[in-house]
């Protein structure tokens, strides 16, 4: 089995901060890959945060702020809320 990540350690990515619900940029410090019968989940930990801080789902991380804004304005995202 081969798993590839969208981002690598040290990459800067954009996501929605779970505490403030604002756009945040962070550097990827750790990558967690969970493989289960239901499928694979990839999550990123922001540099400088404790292990108790929430991590970010790969599907909700983007290379640019514009990509993130495009995503949160899609009907699919709006339906999730």
Report the C-alpha gap between 30 and 53 in whole angstroms. Answer: 12
**pLDDT tens-digit profile of 45-72?**
999 998 888 899 999 999 999 999 999 8
pLDDT at 16: 94
Average pLDDT in the 21-49 region? Answer: 95
pLDDT at 63: 98
The whole-chain average pLDDT of the chain stands at 92
Report the C-alpha gap between 69 and 72 in whole angstroms. Answer: 5
Global confidence as pTM: 0.86
């Amino acid at each position: 089995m081969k798993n590839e990540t969208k981002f690598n350690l040290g990459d800067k990515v954009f996501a929605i901060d779970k505490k403030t619900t604002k756009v945040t940029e962070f550097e990827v410090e750790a990558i967690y890959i969970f493989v289960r019968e239901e499928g694979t989940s990839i999550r990123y930990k922001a540099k400088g945060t404790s292990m108790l801080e929430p991590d970010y789902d790969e599907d909700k991380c983007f290379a640019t702020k514009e990509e993130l804004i495009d995503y949160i304005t899609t009907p699919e995202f709006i339906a999730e809320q």
